[in-house]
Amino acid sequence: MAMMGLHFMGEVPFREVLITPFIVDEHGQKMSRSRGNMIDALEVKESHGMDALRFTMAGSSTKGRDMGFSMRQMDEARNFQNKLWNIARFILTNTEDLSPHATLDGQPLAPEDRWLRSRLSWLVEKVRTELDRYNFHLASDALYHFIWHELCDWYLELAKLRLQGEDVEARTTCQLVLREVLDTVVRLLHPFMPFLTEEMWGHMGGTGSLAWADYSVPHPEWRDPEAEGQLGRLMELVREVRAVRAEVGVPAGAEVALVLVSGTGAAEMSTMFEPAVRRLARAAGVRHEPGVRPPAGAARGVAGEIAFFLSVGDLVDWEAVRTRIQRDLEKATVERGKLEGRLANPHFRERAAPDVVAKAQAEAEALRVRQSRLERYLAD
Strands, sheet with 299-303, edge to edge from the N-terminal-most edge strand: 283-288, 256-262, 306-311, 299-303
Q: Residue 248 pLDDT > 90, yes or no? A: no
Question: Domain span at residue 361?
Answer: 318-379
- The residue-averaged pLDDT of 206-213 equals 93
Q: Residue 66 pLDDT > 80, yes or no? A: no
Q: Considering the domain boundaries, does residue 164 fall inside one?
A: yes
pLDDT for the residue 380: 62
Report the C-alpha gap between 374 and 368 in whole angstroms: 10
Angle, in degrees to the nearest 10, between helices 354-379 and 318-344: 150
Report the C-alpha gap between 2 and 8 in whole angstroms: 10
In the three-class reduction of DSSP (H, G, I as helix; E, B as strand; rest coil), residue 42 is classed as helix
- The residue out of 223, 258, 290 marking a domain boundary is 223
Q: Residue 332 pLDDT > 80, yes or no? A: yes
**Cβ atoms 131, 192 nearer than 8 A:** no
Q: Are residues 326 and 238 in the same domain?
A: no
Q: Considering the domain boundaries, does residue 35 fall inside one?
A: no
Q: How confident is the model at residue 19 (pLDDT cuts 50, 70, 90)?
A: confident
CATH number at residue 78: 1.10.730.10
Total count of domains within the chain? 3
Q: How far is CA 42 from the centre of its chain?
A: 31
HSE-CB at 252 with a 13 A cutoff on CA atoms is 0
Q: How confident is the model at residue 64 (pLDDT cuts 50, 70, 90)?
A: low
- The residue out of 315, 334, 365 marking a domain boundary is 315
Q: How confident is the model at residue 222 (pLDDT cuts 50, 70, 90)?
A: very high
β-pairing verdict for 256-262 and 306-311: antiparallel
Q: Are residues 342 and 304 in the same domain?
A: no
Give the residue with greater pLDDT, 120 vs 27. Answer: 120
Report the C-alpha gap between 151 and 120 in whole angstroms: 10
Q: Are residues 208 and 238 in the same domain?
A: no
Q: Residue 163 pLDDT > 90, yes or no? A: yes
Q: Residue 376 pLDDT > 80, yes or no? A: no
Q: What share of the chain is helix, strand, coil (3-state, %, to 5)?
A: 60, 10, 30
Report the C-alpha gap between 287 and 298 in whole angstroms: 15
Q: Are residues 176 and 77 in the same domain?
A: yes
Q: How confident is the model at residue 225 (pLDDT cuts 50, 70, 90)?
A: very high
* CA dihedral sign of residues 77, 163, 225, 369: negative
Report the C-alpha gap between 173 and 184 in whole angstroms: 17
In the three-class reduction of DSSP (H, G, I as helix; E, B as strand; rest coil), residue 191 is classed as coil
Distances (CA, A) of 263 to 58, 233, 358: 43, 11, 30
Q: Are residues 108 and 183 in the same domain?
A: yes
Question: Which residues contact residue 249 at a Cβ distance below 8 angstroms, ignoring those fewer than 6 apart?
Answer: 316, 317, 320, 321, 324
- The residue out of 223, 242, 272 marking a domain boundary is 223
Question: Which residues contact residue 135 at a Cβ distance below 8 angstroms, ignoring those fewer than 6 apart?
Answer: 63
pTM for this one? 0.87
DSSP 8-state assignment for residue 352: S
Give the residue with greater pLDDT, 43 vs 127. Answer: 127
Q: Considering the domain boundaries, does residue 5 fall inside one?
A: no
Q: Are residues 218 and 137 in the same domain?
A: yes
Q: Across 12-100, where does the E strand assignment appear?
A: 23-25, 67-69
Q: How many residues does the chain have?
A: 380
